[in-house]
Amino acid sequence: MTAFVAGTHGLVWHLTEPRRLAQGARWAFAAADAGRWPCDVPAIVLVEVSLLGERGRLRMELPQFVEALAGHAGYAILPLDVEQALAFASLVSIRDPMVRLVVAAERATGARLVSSDKTLSGHGVERVWD
């Protein structure tokens, strides 16, 4: 069972600028770091991290990012699968395809999403942040 799914910004901030996280997000990531709560990281988050690095918006390269996650028992990379693709197809109201894929992962796993994006609540997403 997945306790939560990590959105890109929340996970990046957790690893690089934890002060930017709200209380609930800090608590969730601390639980994953300690292996108390499982956290799925959608594969698209890795793609976004790579793009952020290419654009100079992130100093951590993708291999370092993956290594940082591997150092904690609570994290698992969630490959894109058919269930997520079907959820993606039903989320046409979310225009950003990267965000849509993260929400599709949240839907497919039935977990809560660690995200600062308040607009996702309007799409039935159960967010962990504050």
In the chain, the domains with their CATH numbers are 4-128 (3.40.50.1010)
* Residue range 19-35, pLDDT digits in tens: 999 999 999 999 999 99
119 or 79, greater pLDDT: 79
Instruction: Write down the mean pLDDT value for the chain.
Output: 94
Q: Which two tokens stand for residue 128?
A: 């962990």
If phi over 0 gives left and psi between -120 and 50 gives alpha, with beta otherwise, what is residue 30? alpha
Q: Which two tokens stand for residue 11?
A: 């996970």
Q: What is the pLDDT of residue 1?
A: 57
* Residue range 71-85, pLDDT digits in tens: 888 999 999 999 999
Q: What is the pLDDT of residue 121?
A: 84
Q: What is the pTM for the complete model shown?
A: 0.93
